[in-house]
């Protein structure tokens, strides 16, 4: 189903992180729907959240707890988003944290709650309470693969990736998992992603790594333009590696870890698009020649969100008119159409705002038949660029979202 996404690669343990996945029966019996992640004492944890004004109760509580305590546990459920649930939703999220804190003998503020699934239904807290003891017992450093499955909703494949990098003589691991397939146009982070490393990094620097990585990864994808109420991306540094703490002044170590975190985030973000609801194509949109970064992103999103462009990709139709029409309505000030060029992979299809002189329709069809395509748009008015990833729009997107209750 997912475009170019093979089965989950091996996920390397991150010393200092243990995970457990159980079937709590939140929505359906027998489904892995509750994931617990434990961080070693002294681990550093940072996060970014959705900017949707209708953010879910767990987002509100997780933000509050992050500000108050040093996280030791992340509690993630699928099957229910605990969003649009008002005061009761906040109480439910808090009581889950309290219940876990009691078992594990930590402060409730040291537990961050995350939920994904149906919006607007009260969170079934009893099955969650009941499943907690089993989850606590099952915690294991090798629990990443199970956890990647346990956070899925409409995802057709589990998503995870590991990278290793040598920093100052130490082999450092970065492992991450993510979920998401629809309601994907992250405004801050994707639906849920959890990335951990055993590197030693202090909180302010870790936040900096996360924000930079998120901008180029989860904030550069779109499936349907809908921003979730529950988006969250967490980055953990356990500090379990016997290394010196990475600081901003240590250029080489800083760059190496930043690059590796970014790679992991990009791989996870791309996996979400590859598994986009109903996706049959994986599309990279590169806009170059912009007067600034923002107008490049504007143009890229206008193309990526256009239902007409997306259905043309589904049909393998090299319909460059629809691409130009989307760029034209992107709201770029004083855009001179006569300077715009468009490429499908290596093939130039538009120059000077019109069909390229040598372009033949069969060539376009051949490129569009590929499963992975890069659309490159040159605005011809500057040196700035932007890149994002999206997928096509198929019958199955409609079927999935007509049948599934978000």
Residues forming contacts to a second copy in the complex (CB under 8 A) are: 51-55, 81, 83-86, 89, 118-120, 182-183, 185, 187, 224-229, 305-308, 311-312, 314-315, 317, 319-322, 324-329, 332, 335, 337-338, 350, 352-355, 393-395, 397-399, 401-403, 405-406
Q: Which is nearer to a second copy, 154 or 241 (CB)?
A: 154
- Please enumerate in sequence order all residues whose Cβ is within 8 A of that of 108, keeping only pairs 6 or more positions apart, or say none: 65, 94, 97, 98, 101
Least spacing, CB of residue 219 vs a second copy, in Å: 14
Which of 21, 78, 175, 190 is the catalytic position? 190
Q: 265-295: b or e for each residue (b if 16 or more CB lie within 10 Å)? A: bbbbbbbbbbbbbbbbbbbbbbbbbbbeeeb
- Please enumerate in sequence order all residues whose Cβ is within 8 A of that of 184, keeping only pairs 6 or more positions apart, or say none: 190, 191, 221, 222, 223, 224, 226, 228, 272, 273, 276
Which uninterrupted H or E stretch holds 106? none
Least spacing, CB of residue 250 vs a second copy, in Å: 39
Q: Which is nearer to a second copy, 15 or 328 (CB)?
A: 328
Dist. CA 45–CA 39, nearest whole Å = 9
Least spacing, CB of residue 353 vs a second copy, in Å: 6
Under DSSP, is residue 25 helix (H, G, I), strand (E, B) or coil?
coil
Phi-psi category of residue 45: left, alpha or beta, with phi > 0 → left and psi -120 to 50 → alpha: beta
Q: Residue 98 is encoded by which pair of tokens?
A: 């309290």
190 an active-site residue? Answer: yes
Q: Which is nearer to a second copy, 51 or 137 (CB)?
A: 51
Q: How far is CA 6 from CA 1, 10, 23, 191, 253, in A?
A: 10, 12, 25, 21, 31
Least spacing, CB of residue 160 vs a second copy, in Å: 26
Least spacing, CB of residue 216 vs a second copy, in Å: 21
Q: Which is nearer to a second copy, 207 or 401 (CB)?
A: 401
Q: Which is nearer to a second copy, 96 or 330 (CB)?
A: 330
DSSP 176-212: EEEE-SSS---SSS-SEEEEEE-S-B-HHHHHHHHHH
Task: Please work out, in degrees rounded to the nearest 5, the angle formed at the alpha carbon of residue 261 by the alpha carbons of 259 and 263.
Answer: 65
Under DSSP, is residue 117 helix (H, G, I), strand (E, B) or coil?
coil
Strand 111-116 relative to strand 73-78: parallel, antiparallel, unpaired? parallel
Q: How far is CA 406 from CA 78, 188, 311, in A?
A: 11, 20, 23
> What is the torsional sign of CA 187, 200, 268, 71?
negative
Q: Which is nearer to a second copy, 244 or 371 (CB)?
A: 371
Q: Which is nearer to a second copy, 195 or 323 (CB)?
A: 323
Least spacing, CB of residue 396 vs a second copy, in Å: 9
Least spacing, CB of residue 111 vs a second copy, in Å: 24
Catalytic residue annotation: 190
């Amino acid at each position: 189903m997912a475009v170019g996404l093979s089965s989950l690669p091996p996920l390397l343990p991150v010393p200092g992180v243990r995970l457990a996945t159980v079937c709590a029966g939140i929505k359906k019996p027998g489904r892995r729907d509750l994931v617990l992640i434990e961080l070693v004492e002294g681990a550093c944890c940072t996060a970014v959240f959705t900017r949707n004004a209708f953010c879910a109760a767990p987002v509100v509580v997780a933000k509050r707890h992050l500000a108050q305590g040093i996280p030791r546990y992340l509690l993630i459920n699928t099957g229910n988003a605990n969003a649009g649930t008002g005061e009761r939703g906040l109480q439910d999220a808090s009581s889950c944290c309290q219940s876990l804190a009691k078992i594990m003998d930590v402060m409730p503020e040291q537990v961050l709650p995350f939920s994904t699934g149906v919006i607007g239904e009260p969170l079934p807290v009893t099955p969650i309470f009941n499943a907690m003891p089993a989850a606590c017992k099952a915690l294991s450093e090798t629990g990443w693969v199970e956890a990647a499955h346990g956070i899925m909703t409409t995802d057709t494949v589990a998503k995870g990736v590991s990278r290793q990098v040598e920093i100052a003589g130490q082999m450092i691991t970065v492992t991450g998992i993510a979920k998401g397939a629809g309601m994907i146009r992250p405004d801050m982070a994707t639906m849920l992603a959890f990335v951990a490393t055993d590197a030693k990094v202090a909180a302010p620097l870790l936040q900096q790594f996360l924000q930079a990585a998120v901008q180029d990864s989860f904030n550069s994808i779109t499936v349907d333009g809908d921003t979730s109420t529950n988006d969250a991306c967490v980055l953990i540094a356990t500090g379990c590696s016997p290394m010196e703490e990475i600081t901003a002044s240590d250029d080489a170590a800083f760059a190496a870890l930043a690059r590796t975190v970014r790679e992991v985030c990009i791989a996870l973000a791309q996996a979400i698009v590859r598994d986009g609801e109903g996706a049959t194509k994986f599309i990279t949109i590169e806009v170059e020649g912009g007067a600034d970064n923002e107008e490049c992103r504007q143009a890229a999103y206008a193309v990526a969100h256009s239902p007409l462009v997306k259905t043309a990709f589904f049909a393998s139709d090299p319909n460059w008119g629809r691409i130009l029409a989307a760029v034209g309505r992107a709201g770029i000030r004083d855009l001179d159409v006569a300077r715009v060029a468009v490429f499908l992979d290596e093939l130039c299809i538009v120059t000077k705002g019109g069909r390229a002189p040598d372009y033949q329709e069969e060539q376009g069809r051949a490129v569009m038949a590929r499963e992975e395509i890069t659309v490159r748009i040159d605005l011809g008015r500057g040196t700035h660029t932007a890149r994002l990833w999206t997928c096509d729009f198929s019958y199955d997107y409609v079927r999935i979202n007509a049948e599934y209750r978000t």
